[in-house]
Every structure is written in C-alpha cells, then in structure tokens.
Structure 1
Amino acid sequence: MADEQTQDAPEQEQNSTVDAVTGEDLAARVQLLEEQLVGAQDQALRVAADVQNVRRRAEQDVEKAHKFALEKFAGDLLPIIDSLERGLELSDPANEGIRAMREGMELTLKMFQDTLKRYQLEAIDPHGEPFNAEHHQAMAMQESADVEPNSVLKVFQKGYQLNGRLLRPAMVVVSKAPVKASPSIDEQA
C-alpha cells in the first residue's frame, strides 16, 4: 500500500501542475478574449457611427437636392423678369395707346414674382442700403454728398436668392465721398 501511495503522490503533483498551468493558460486566454471583445465592441460602435454619418449626409444631400433643384430653371427665368421690368420702366404710363399692354405686362410680372416667392426665390433690390459684397456687384462708383459713402445709389439689375443661397448678385452703382477740390491759385493769394 505504501507503494501505491508513493505512486499516487507523483501523479497528484503532476495533476496539480497541469491544473496550475491550465489555470494560468485559461486566465491568459480569457484576458485575450476579453481584449478581443472590447476591440470588437469598439469597432462595432465605429461602424455604427460611420453608418449614421453616411445616412445623415445622404439625407442632407437629398434635402439640398430638393431645396436647390430649381436653381438652374430659376436662373433661366430671371432674364424674362428683367425684360418685363425694363419694358415697364421704358413705357409711358400716361400713354393711353399702350395702357392695356402695360397692364398686361404688370399682371404678368406680378404673377411671375408671386410664383418665384412661392418657391423661395427672393429678389435683392438694395437701393439706398449699404453695399454688401456678398450680395451686390459694384458696376461703378459715383461721388455723392447726399448719401453715406459705400451706399447703393442705383440698381442696374436686381439680384436673387434661392432659399438663402445667392443665385445672382445685384448689379449696383455705389456712392463714394466727394473729392475735396484743392484751393485754386486765386484763393491762396
């Protein structure tokens, strides 16, 4: 029996060593799997965030496409409005011979303007306002003592915005301060 106990002792030592190695190995594997799980969760969060960003960008692109789909079409209509406005400016309202035609042009222009407003196309008519380089295009500068320098004196052509985006700048004449004349020779004497 002593021989059996002696034989069992080395076997128990060997099993406890195997258990110890297996326990350490198992702990290392668990730690490795936990690290991989954390990495996979992080990657899944990043992928979900990327998908959400792509979806948001796509929604914004669709919204912009709807919002500005009329941009080219509206731009093509602006010369027609300009022509109607010029025709009304050049025609004499007192002339009875063209009164019916003038009224027709006024109604047509009003219908055009109302339609454009419905689609968020707004006119920029800056007469008397300060010059704004973002919405106005200065065609000339003119001296004026009557208004502040850098104010719009005259509008050659109205500008337009579509949903807040500049479609065409207003073409304007901008005021500048009058140049002080240098004293003449007679005044100096």
Structure 2
Amino acid sequence: MNTDQDVSEIEESAVLQDENNTLETGADSTASDAPGSEDESVSQVSVDELTQQLVTAQEEAASNWDKVLRIQAEMENIKRRSQKDIENAHKFALVDFAKELLTVIDSLELGLQAATESSPEIAKIREGNKLTLKQFQSVFSKFNIERVDPVGEQFNPEQHQAISMQESTDVEPNTVVEVFQKGYLLNGRILRAAMVIVAKAASAEVEKNEENGNSD
C-alpha cells in the first residue's frame, strides 16, 4: 500500500519537474530572442548615425580645405605685392631728388647754348660747364636715369608732352620735329616728359608755298 503511494508521488513529482523545465526553457528562449532583436535595431541606428556623421565630417573637411587654399593664395598674393612694393621703393626712391637735379642740368645746357662768345673767359666757362654736365650724365647713367630726346620719332603720349603743332611736308604727321625740353626716365618709368613740337599735315597753302620756294 505504501509502495503504490510512493510510486504515485514520484510520478507526480516527475510531471511537475517536466513542466517546470518546459517553462524555464520557454522563458530562456523568450529572453534570448528579445535582446537579440534589440541589439540588431540599435546596431542599425548606430550605422546610420555614423554614416551621416561621416558625410557631414567630409563636407566640413572639404569646405575647410577650400578656405585654406583661398587663404594660402591670398597670402601668396600679399607676399608678391609686398616684394613688388619693396622693389619699387628701391628703384624709385630717387624720384624727388632726381627731379631737382634736372633743373640743374637744364641750366647747364642753357648756359652752354648761350655762351657763344669766343673770348678766353667764356671758353673756360664753357669747358667747366661741359665737364660738370658730363659728370651729371655719368651719375644719371649709374642710377638708370635715361634722357629722352625724341627728335624724328613718332609722338608718344606716355613720354612726350606736345606744346605745339607745326605744319610740315617734310615728315609724317605726329613726328616730333623739335624738343623744347628734354625728358627723362628712371628705371623705365617716366621721370619727366619731354616737351616737344609735333608735325601735322600741311595745308594746301603751305604745300603750294613750299613748292614755289623749291622751284625758285
């Protein structure tokens, strides 16, 4: 009698144990499935966010690089302009001083033209003026100051200043026929424009008079 009861209790205990095992297995399965889905969702969100961040970072990098290139180009331009300004400052530092010397040279040349007497005293003055003028010209050449004496050349408004026009049949129009005051260049830049008289086409009356004069 006791034996049958014991067997029955054992069987019931076994059934309960199986049910407990089944419940635990289901719980474990459910627990293992849920976190996995969540991890996959989180991973997908993270990839999208990282991708967007990467794209944004690349765009910012490209924009910053473009700014760097522009700044670098501007710095190079500033450097070149500064170097050019320094070079010009060295080349043309003598402008004001040289202009003052031009009046001295003009006076010496006028003195030579005016000293036409043949007396010994005048001859000495002429020789002294010639020597002084030659020294000035040597110094000017040393500092790249060039004289502009354009008789027979075409009128150049960048280097010449026309003070008058003269009808002529001997030269082409716009030819410099006389220099009233010589011009000068400093390192190729105009220091003083030459004051000149320029030829223009002769009128019919002038041509006729010249023809009559030639025939006589």
Both structures adopt the same fold (TM-score exceeding 0.5) = yes
Question: What is the rounded CA distance, in whole Å, between the counterparts of 2:201 and 2:27 in structure 1?
Answer: 121
- TM superposition shift of 1:143: 2.5
Residue 148 of structure 1, CA deviation: 2.8
Q: Match for 2:185 among 154, 161, 168?
A: 161
Aligned equivalents of 2:118 and 2:97: distance in 1?
Answer: 35
CA gap of 1:20–1:93, structure 2 versus 1, over 3 A, is farther
Alpha-carbon distance in structure 2 between the residues aligned to 1:37 and 1:134: 51
Q: Per-residue displacement from partner, 1:131-156 (whole Å, max 9, x unpaired)?
A: 22221111112223333332222111
Residues 50, 177 of structure 1: alpha-carbon distance in 2 compared, 3 angstrom cutoff: closer
The count of aligned residue pairs is 183
Residue pairs, 1:162-181, within 5 angstroms? 162-181=186-205
- 2:147 corresponds to: 123
State how far apart, in whole Å, the 2-side matches of 1:176 and 1:41 are: 62
Aligned residue for 2:205, secondary structure, equals coil
Q: How far off its partner does 1:44 sit?
A: 1.3
Give the root-mean-square deviation of aligned CA atoms.
1.7
Which amino acid is 1:156 matched to?
F
1:69 to 93, 113, 117: 93
Q: What corresponds to 2:64 in structure 1?
A: 40
Post-superposition Cα deviations, 1:3-48, rounded to whole Å, max 9, x if no partner, equal 1111121111011100000011111111111111111111111111
Amino acid at match of 2:138: D
In structure 1, C-alpha distance between the alignment counterparts of 2:118 and 2:167, rounded to whole Å: 33
Higher relative contact order, chain-length normalized (CA < 8 Å, sep 6+)? 1
Matches within 5 A, 1:1-189: 1-92=25-116, 94-181=118-205
How does the TM-score come out when normalised to structure 1? 0.90
User: Equivalents in 1 of 2:66, 2:176: separation in Å?
Assistant: 58
Q: After the TM superposition, which of the residue ranges 75-84 and 145-154 deviates more from structure 2?
A: 145-154
Distance 1:153 1:126 in 2: 9
Paired amino acid for 1:79:
T
Return the alpha-carbon distance in structure 1 between the equivalents of residues 200 and 64 of structure 2: 67
Measured against aligned partners, the alpha-carbon deviations of 1:44-80 in whole angstroms (never above 9, x if no partner) come to 1111111111111111111111111111111111111
Structure 1 residues 153-162 or 93-102, which shifts more? 93-102
Q: 1:93: Cα distance to partner?
A: 6.5
Please say if residues 93 and 102 of structure 1, whose CA atoms lie closer than 8 Å, have aligned partners that are also in contact: no
Amino acid paired to 1:158: K
Structure 2 residue ranges without an equivalent (≥5): 1-24, 209-216
